[in-house]
Structure 1
Amino acid sequence: MSIAPHPPEHSGSPAAAPATGVGFARDLASWGARRALVHAGRVVSYADLARLVDDRAARLGPVRRLVLLEMASDVDSVATYLAALAGGHPVVVVDAARPDVVAATRAAYDPDVVARGDVLDEQRDGTAHDLHPELAALLSTSGSTGSPRLVRLSAENLQANAESIAAYLPLRGDDLAALSLSLHYCYGLSVLHTHLLRGAGVLLGDASVVDPCFWAAAREHGATSLAGVPHTFELLDRVGLDTVAPDSLRYLTQAGGAMAPDRVRSYAELGQRRGFDLFVMYGQTEATARMAYLPPDLAGTRPGAIGVPVPGGRFDLAEVPGAPEGTGELVYEGPNVMLGYAEHPDDLARGREVTRLRTGDLARRGDDGLWEVVGRLSRTAKVLGLRIDLDRVERALVADGVRALVAGTPPTDGATEQLVVAVEPRATGGSARLVARVRRLVTALTGLPAAAVQVHPVPQLPRLANGKPDHRGVAALAAPAPERATTAATGVRDVLGEVLGRPVGDDDTFAGLGGDSLTYVETSVRLEEALGHLPADWHLRTVAELEAGTTTRTRRGRGVETNVVLRAVAIVAVVGTHADLFTLLGGAHLLLALAGFNLARFALGDVTRRERVQRLLTAAARVVVPAVLWIGGTALLLGAYPWQTALLVNGFLGPPGWTEPAWHHWFVEALVLLVLGVAALVAVPVLDRTERRWPFWFPVALTLLALLTRYELVPLPDGDVIHRAPVVAWLLTLGWAVARARTTGHRLVVSALAVLTVPGFFADDARSAAVIVGLLLLTWSRQVRLPGLLARLAATLAGASLYIYLTHWQVYPHLEDDLPALATLLSLVVGVAVWRAVTTTERRLRR
């Protein structure tokens, strides 16, 4: 990318007139009760959004400050973004899912406010920066390799480009865009901007277009448009847009890189049959978003063209020596051209430095007036919609001691462009290890999934006759499509496929594939082994995102989630106490809190209400089936249990006081009943919406309500109290609240609830202390590091905890009097063996 220079305007200063803000962000209230945003079943009107924005703007204050926003696809992130735009606060938009990029940007620009959702972390009262009056937003170019260089956009840029896009798209006030694009990306933001400009709605969420819940929400809310990059349309090929698209769909938009003409033509023809239009668009972050579009009636006959300039813009060609006649560098002019780049906080005071944007693309104008891009001038590649600086990747590899050359492959036969890396293996270490290492480095640097990076060991790096790197020779190493399909399998995909017994794609997540608390332990430990690091929200990240975040382990030991360690400790405490090896009570009650923690993470995710209920019922079934089979089997064969215990109704129909063996499985019974209770709650639309609106305070309120039975304010039948589901429900909801605690204030609230409510519940101070300590550890420390062997042992015991609990009653009594240590060890071993047998059988049946 090169830019035509423009004399710098006078720098901004603290005394400069404050920016007036961006029009579409200021005028939200004018659209009244119209639908603005839809997220996780919650519909936010323009009036509601305006109130959220006004509140957030008041918190930002009247003094213009530099805001760094960790952008996610949710209502709070959008409200904070719009508050910054409306109040004239320059906002740096970064991906909330990339903590490395967040940290690098924060270090480079020293923001005055760091925002994540509705949390504003103020670094200072005023500003440390000289902010130009026109500066409104700073965005990374569509692909980031960790460079601090940002695009400086003005309020005029944002407003003008939104108006020009809305002028050629058939936008209506009742439209709803189903957004699968990230909002830190200029394309995703442009969809938001244009719809807000016209008083239309946007359906937010993290689901991919291959996720059934994406289309369920699109159908439920009547989505009328879908925006995608070329990779999005490849995914649509897999799911079959013709079969999943709602009848309300009126048009598609495509940008973010050139899409193969055959695919353009195919979707244009599908649109003719189904009644929707396809708008192919061309743009760059440096032009705010869009520079050209192809009218939909030409998509079938001119699928290789970028079309005509957007309203208010114009194209020209700059001469390129040696280029064919009629071909030159495409140059764009219009009100949406950026102010310039920023690489340092001092650049934030600079005004307009660009009027003519040299795109770096070789182009020509056809006889019919349509513009076509025929090549690139610079060393960049666009892969899956991300623009990658190939030279920067090369330099990073060399700096890491790898002799390598990097090239990009253009789309052929509809295949997505990929990165191709040629490497010279060292004398020692082996090619396979080097290939894996280079792929990890490149994916971490670029944010690309591993499947988009080909690494080829070569005896010598290809060179031209003059000794310069032969990048065309590197590109020629690219494997053909069938071979790519064979080599695309990754460690992440293999682990998920093996544990869950299902086919896995780049856009699948552990939670979306049906993972739950019974399978996540083994999955998390194996992924940590494969990746070297596992983020706290790994279960919600796609395979591609997990691959992109791959890092090498630099610390000793292995990171294990705290709740995994606590599950292992709790089940050992249960078995060891029962076998008289030691006395450490409270393990089963702590397991209930951990169950609530995991229900919130896996079953109560950002999916439809029906999907939530289905996941909860599935979770209950995965406990009920083995429990009834085991308890019922031992009852029939050994006469061990009454029928009330075998059917998990002992708490209601069994003896009122603790009677062995009738009450042995109180924990399993309570767990199942409480999970079914949560399913009944979220099945009620108003309660489901309330939980989504207040994800932390909803389980806190449930905990306070459940304390009525814990403190016997609601009369219950006499007998054993601390083992009945209605009385222990507050522990499960408290664990749920811990999972939703996102701020220090939230953690203090759940900590206070634990410290204040657990004492007195048991007639044993040590038991109370054990439960409190477990809850506090779960609240304040999400991960601990353990030696590799101990980490694996903890994961195994945690994963097998249900089966250990079920089976240990039939093992330890035979040895507890004389050999309590052996009784404990054998109980654990038998439970693990049964768990392994069940999971292996289950995976085979799934396959």
Structure 2
Amino acid sequence: MSDRLDPDAPARRLLLGRDLAAFGERTALVTADEEISYAELAARVDQAGRALGPTRRLVLVAGANTVDAVVGYLGVLAAGHVVLLVPDEDRAIESLTRAYDPDVVCRTADGAWRQVERRRGSAHELHPDLALLLSTSGSTGSPKLVRLSYENLRANAESIAAYLGVRDGDRAATTLPLHYCYGLSVLHSNLIRGAGIILTGLSVADACFWELFRAARGTSIAGVPYTFTLLDRVGFDTMELPHLRYVTQAGGPMPPDRVRRYAELGRRRGFDLFVMYGQTEATARMAYLPPDRALTHPSAIGVPVPGGALRLAPVDEAPDGIGELVYSGPNVMLGYAGRPADLALGRTVDELFTGDLARRGVDGLFEIIGRRSRFAKLFGIRIDLQHVEAGLESDGIRACCVAGDDELVVAIEQAERRGDARRLVAAGCKLPARSVRVLVLPELPRLASGKVDLRAVAALAAEPVPAAPAAVDGTDLRLLYAEILDRDDVTDDSTFVGLGGDSLSYVEMSVRLEQVLGVLPVGWHTTPIRQLRAGAGEPSPRRRRTLDTGVALRAVAIVLIVGTHADLFTVRGGAHLLLALAGFNFARFHLTDAPRRRRIRHLGASVARIAVPASLYLALVALLDHKYSWQNALLLNEAIGPRYGAQRHYWFVETLVYMLVALAAVLAIRRVDRWERRWPFLLPVGLLTVGLAVRYDLIPLSFEDNFTTPATLFWFFALGWAVAKAGAPWQRLLVTVAGVVAVAGYFGDPLREAVIGVGLVLLAWMPHLPSLPGLNRVAGMLAGSSLYIYLIHWQVYPPLQRLSPLLATLAAVVAGVALGVVAGRATQWLGGLRFRQRAPRRLRAHQVRPRRLRPTFR
């Protein structure tokens, strides 16, 4: 049984308790309804402590962000009793009540704060130094508790107040729950300096929070990484917060780019950003990054807090310079408790082995590399799950990873990124794609601290997986969409455009669908699969086969380009027809109903699918053939010259990329995005009008000026865009007439103008052309490889041209198709490479080998 309270016990010397009255009439707590002075708070705390009686007891306190909970907590602590601080949730309260049998339970019930005595006196033997019991980081209601002493609380509060420079005029908002060690440390470090607390349970995503914060003249905000995600959503960077002095971040690593961004914002707006590192086992804080180092070292956790020390303990199989981070200081816990009998124990821990792998830079700053406990081993590869998550975060995918027996489960919130997540993780970790399962959740489950609830995710991942739909005679449309678009989230309500399809994947999909459906319905790319499914099955031999007009025109255009260059025939106009087709496909696949950001992201990915292979190929060509230069490799020849000779061979690719990048920038503007959605046909017609003003020299441009090729030829692109958005017959007629009239006489070559004019008429009025199965396959192959045929034909046909123009043309086409196959197979590898390059170095997964730490996130 416990002893009676000793007035000279450590609790009586704890500033957080009895000495609150020393700050007099200074404001202690501010809520939406009242302000409470330190003198009044001290009186309420004293009353709460006296109500517990003279015998030292174990008191469970439900830690809500309310005045009653703060008074109750401080009252128990100040009177020398032991606080078991838990979330204000029935499940956690019931679980820990069963596990530790507290003498008193203080919580909100029926709208009022109640103190329920479960017995008179105490059933426990409580060590004299024991002050507070908290759940370990990441657990809620777990019987494993951290035992903290009065000295732990005092030392850490003083340390935090010192490096933050807390002033008595400060007012800190409770953006985190009281039962979480980070939220609790905000209370401690401000009360110990006589500063004010803005006490609220509102989220930073709530406008009422900011009204209270401004009215109370708030000076500091604390947040975990998820808090900063919410701050981004509510436009924190534009808020007027005249009294804000500093912002703190802890509770897990935040992406370096976000750290840097908030540090830069603070420099502009007059507040400091403190990135901090800690664990419940160290009361709260172990390290902090001085604000002036956040811009230059955004990945670091910084230096030890005042009074503490950090060292690196050797770890087997880790490379030199990397070890487990070990902390020592007066805030290190007494030890763990797993049962009531452990509350009688004294100190069992002298220093804290954090479980984090870290290194120390030459500048003395520590940096976390990974966590030892979150490694999974699949197919002989050791993978750091935390680094996989951070790498995905850098790619814009919020994720939580858990490992099964033979698979890696990646839980995400963004259904449209399912395929990206699976592909990036498989490529980055060198795992078979079948061993990566993506679990889409409405929202990642989180603890009250804002951290992802790993146990909840693991439980969801362990649930039985519904069987995949079986193929029906090889024609199941969902499986076909999943195969071509590399998506595993295909449903009967999915559409080609909704799943991220673009002009490149459109070719293969249209040809394959035509084999299944026989005749592709108009607008199939925006039609849900359930509506297309009715036509699934092998087409009848008598059934007319058709070919998508856009696919046919692409195939014809690329053959005309190559054949003309190889002198097999002279029929020009293919490149300009391809520009119109590019505008047509831009409108169909990128100007969808998707949100603006998703539109821009989709367009950016499509631009990359053109620009990246072109740049890589031209870089190789420039090394082997001095007719080409670095301007070609960087797609800058049209921009900076020289605009003549062989270096102009690739004007078409550069012009198309310039146009798409410019349109992405323009459509990223909210107002333009709204205009396009409101007037989908009127906007391209307006742009076509401007383009035609250039075509007819109403806006004169010199062909010798840089960038004139995109400017003078944009009207072809706008023409295709307008055709795609022309829904009514009168709209199609208007665009057709405008296009044919504008093309007539433009080149002074009737045949060339006829090629483009006929192509425009077919595109506007005939969605599909009669065809044959074999012809469809050839056209699909040519259209799908058109970019690669265009790239390589300049190197293939010249040596063979004199021998045979036909052979030269066929060789160039075959070489282009082969290059397209190679590029397609390299896509997954390039995706992994992009992921690895974008992820911060410290966030990459690792494969541990003897004496080395080799990266597997490649």
Q: Give the TM-score, by structure 1 length.
A: 0.47
State which structure, 1 or 2, has the greater radius of gyration over its C-alpha atoms.
2
Q: Give the TM-score, by structure 2 length.
A: 0.46
